[in-house]
Amino acid sequence: MLRENFLERRLQIAGIILILGLFAEGFCLLGTGAIAFMLFVGLAGFLLLVGVCIFLLALARADHEKSKTANQ
C-alpha cells in the first residue's frame, strides 16, 4: 500500500525499514551470547541507520523540489 506521492512513499519505506530494525533489536535481546550481540549491532544498527538516512534524505529532497517549483 505505497502511496503515489514520492515524499509519502519515501517516508513509508523509511518507516518500514525502521520498524524492521526495531524488531531485529527486540529479537536479538531475547538471545544470549556473542552471535546475538553481533546481530544486534550489525543487522539492527544497519537497518536503523539506513531508515534514518532515507527519512532525512526524503525530507531534504522534498524541500529542494518544493523550492525549485516555487522559483519557476
pLDDT tens digits, residue range 1-56? 555 688 889 999 999 999 999 998 888 888 888 888 888 889 989 999 999 999 99
Instruction: Give me the helices (H) in 1-72, please.
Output: 6-30, 34-39, 45-71
The predicted model scores a pTM of 0.78
Q: For residue 60, which amino acid is it? A: A
d(CA 65, CA 36) in angstroms, rounded, equals 42
User: Between residues 59 and 69, which one has the greater pLDDT?
Assistant: 59
Q: Residue 72 and residue 65: Cα distance in Å, rounded?
A: 11
